[in-house]
Every structure is written in C-alpha cells, then in structure tokens.
C-alpha cells in the first residue's frame, strides 16, 4: 500500500504549490492584512513545518542509499526548523528579524543536498537533470529569504520567495514525465521508460 | 422601499488591482491544471483506469493542481478579500 516514489514527489509538489499561492497572496495584500485572521497567519509556516515532518517517512521508506537518506534527512530537518522559526515569529516567541535567516539557510542546505546527492551530470537522465535544476534553483533563490530577513517589507523579495515555491512545485510535478527533455538522455542510463 | 438601502445597492463595488489579482490566483492555477490535462492526457489515469492500482488513480498531478486552485479560491480568498476591503475602507 506504499505509494510509488513519483507519487510522493507529486504530493510534495502539491504542498509546495499551496504554500507558494499563500505566500504570493501575502506578498500582494501585505503581511498586516494576511495576519488579520489567526489561522491564516499560521497557515504557511505550519504547512512548511508539516512538509518537514512528512519528509521523515520519505527518508525512512524511500531512500535506497546512504547519500539519499542523508539528503532527505537534511531536508526534513531544515524544513522543520524553518517552519518552526516562522511559526515562532508569527506567535511572537521570537522577535529579531535575523531569525528569518533560518529560511535562507534551509534553501542553501536543501540546494546543496540536491547537488551533492546527484552523482551524474545534468544530461545523463531525467532525474539527474531535475536534481541539478532543483539544486541550483534553491541555491540561487536563497537570495530572496536572505533579502527578506534584511528588508522584511521588500515586495520583490516576498514575490520572489513565493514564486520559488511555485517553480519548485512545477519541477517536482515533472518527475517521471515522458516529455523528451526529461527522458533518458544518455544511452548509459538504460532504456527510456515512464 | 428604504431609500438608504437603494442607494447602498446602487453603489458599484470597486475592486482594487490587488483584490483582482488575489481573486485570479485560484482560477489561474485551476486553468493551468486543465491546460496541462489537455496537453498531457496520459497523466490522467482516470481516462484509462484499467490495470492501475490505488495510488495511480488517487494521485493525478493535473487534478491535484486543479484541486489546489479550487481550495485556494474557496477556502482562503473570500476571507482575505473581506479583510483587504476592510483595510482599504478604513484607510479612506
């Protein structure tokens, strides 16, 4: 009854898409309006924390090598940490804006984990391409949470931060896609399959 | 009829660009899911369900995208628009 690995990727993509839409709406209406209802204020940090929690069973049941296990474990830890810090900021338990650097470090650690645990080059096969793409996207997009921690009112940083999650969701949905660009590219990668 | 009520009814509802953008997010996401389903129909196993197990039939990416768009539109946007309009009215 365990879902196939690609379904887990698609479910995480769905969570990230919802997270991205919430952040985009917050960027447009402003934090003050977004937080007028308590449940809404806790929504996206709670979602980020929950995604971190759900990453643990992924680490336990879906990793077939030590480096995959370490990468998924790192994602679980940094997602939970970043979500928990944002929850504490909303709740008022933490005040200093520098705490927002937790999200920037989560992006950097996640991106590094993607790049380190992918052993093949970009065009070796579909999953290698996506791992490199996801890794570099996260590393480069870390600038948005970084700017957000220095300039919390920056609209550009907030919009970029939100759109990063939408883009990550699109990449995750591409897992096991049969479009040629995501198919097996190297003959060493074996016969193409869905 | 109460004249005051009539005048209230006749006031056109003016929505700001922000409100329109937030209102469009959910439908735009759902539309993206519909277009995706048309472009890659093989990703919808519900169209050819024979031989697929539970997870292949339960988790279908284009339907998930449509679901997220509808969830956002119906669960999050209405309250958000109310609060946005309240804030704008207070600022006037």
Residue A136, domain CATH: 1.25.40
- pLDDT tens-digit profile of A47-93? 999 999 999 999 998 887 888 899 999 999 999 999 999 999 999 99
Structure token digits, residue A184:
């097996």
pLDDT score of A65: 85
d(CA A20, CA B61): 16
Above 0.95 for ipTM, yes or no? no
Which residue among B40, B68, B77 sits closest to A17, beta carbon to beta carbon? Answer: B68
Please check whether residue A146 lies inside any domain of the structure. Answer: yes
Three-state DSSP class for A120? Answer: coil
Surface of A (28-47) touching B: CB under 8 A: 28-29, 32-34, 36-37, 40, 43
Of the candidates A12, A49, A3, A18, the residue with the CA atom closest to the CA atom of residue A171? A12
Please check whether residue A194 lies inside any domain of the structure. Answer: no
The count of structural domains within chain A is 1
Mean pLDDT of the B50-56 span? 87
Task: List the domain range (segments joined by +) for residue A131.
Answer: 5-189
Q: Is A5 an 8 Å CB contact of chain B?
A: no
Mutation target among A28, A32, A51, A170 for the B interface, most CBs of B within 10 A: A28
Is residue B50 over pLDDT 90? no
Please check whether residue A152 lies inside any domain of the structure. Answer: yes
d(CA A131, CA A142): 17
Chain A residue whose CA is closest to B70: A18
Please check whether residue A19 lies inside any domain of the structure. Answer: yes
Q: Which chain A residues are Cβ-neighbours of B59 within 8 angstroms?
A: 3, 7, 10-11
Please check whether residue A170 lies inside any domain of the structure. Answer: yes
Three-state DSSP class for A152? Answer: coil
DSSP state of B29: H
Q: Is A176 an 8 Å CB contact of chain B?
A: no
The residue extents of the domains of chain B are 21-91
DSSP state of A4: P
- pLDDT tens-digit profile of A98-142? 999 999 999 999 999 999 988 888 888 778 888 999 999 999 999
Three-state DSSP class for A125? Answer: coil
C-alpha angle A78/A112/A6, rounded to 5°?
75
Whole-prediction pTM: 0.89
Confirm if A189 and A125 have CB atoms less than 8 A apart. yes
């Amino acid at each position: 009854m365990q879902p196939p690995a690609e379904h887990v990727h698609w479910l995480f993509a769905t969570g990230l898409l919802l997270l991205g839409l919430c952040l985009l709406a917050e960027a447009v209406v402003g934090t003050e309006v977004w937080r007028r209802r308590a449940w809404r204020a806790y929504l996206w940090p709670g979602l980020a924390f929950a995604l971190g929690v759900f990453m643990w069973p992924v680490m336990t049941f879906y990793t077939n090598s030590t480096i995959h296990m370490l990468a998924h474990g790192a994602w679980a830890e940094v997602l939970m940490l970043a979500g928990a810090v944002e929850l504490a900021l909303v709740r008022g338990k933490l005040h200093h804006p520098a705490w927002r650097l937790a999200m920037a470090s989560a992006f950097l650690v996640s991106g590094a984990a993607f790049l380190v645990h992918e052993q093949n080059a970009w065009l070796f096969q579909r999953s290698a391409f996506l791992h490199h793409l996801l890794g570099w996207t996260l590393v480069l997009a870390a600038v948005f949470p970084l700017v957000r921690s220095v300039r919390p009112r920056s609209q550009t940083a907030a919009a970029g931060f939100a759109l990063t999650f939408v883009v990550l969701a699109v990449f995750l949905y591409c897992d096991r896609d049969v479009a040629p660009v995501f198919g097996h590219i190297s003959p060493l990668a074996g016969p193409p399959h869905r | 009829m109460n004249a005051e009520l009539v005048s209230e009814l006749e006031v056109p509802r003016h929505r700001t660009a922000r409100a329109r953008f937030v209102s469009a997010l959910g439908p735009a996401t759902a539309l993206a899911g519909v277009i995706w389903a048309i472009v890659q129909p093989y990703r919808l196993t519900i169209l050819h369900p024979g031989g697929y197990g539970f997870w292949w039939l339960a988790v279908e990416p284009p339907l998930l995208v449509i679901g997220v768009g509808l969830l956002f539109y119906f669960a999050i946007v209405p309250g958000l628009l109310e609060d946005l309009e309240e804030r704008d009215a207070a600022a006037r």
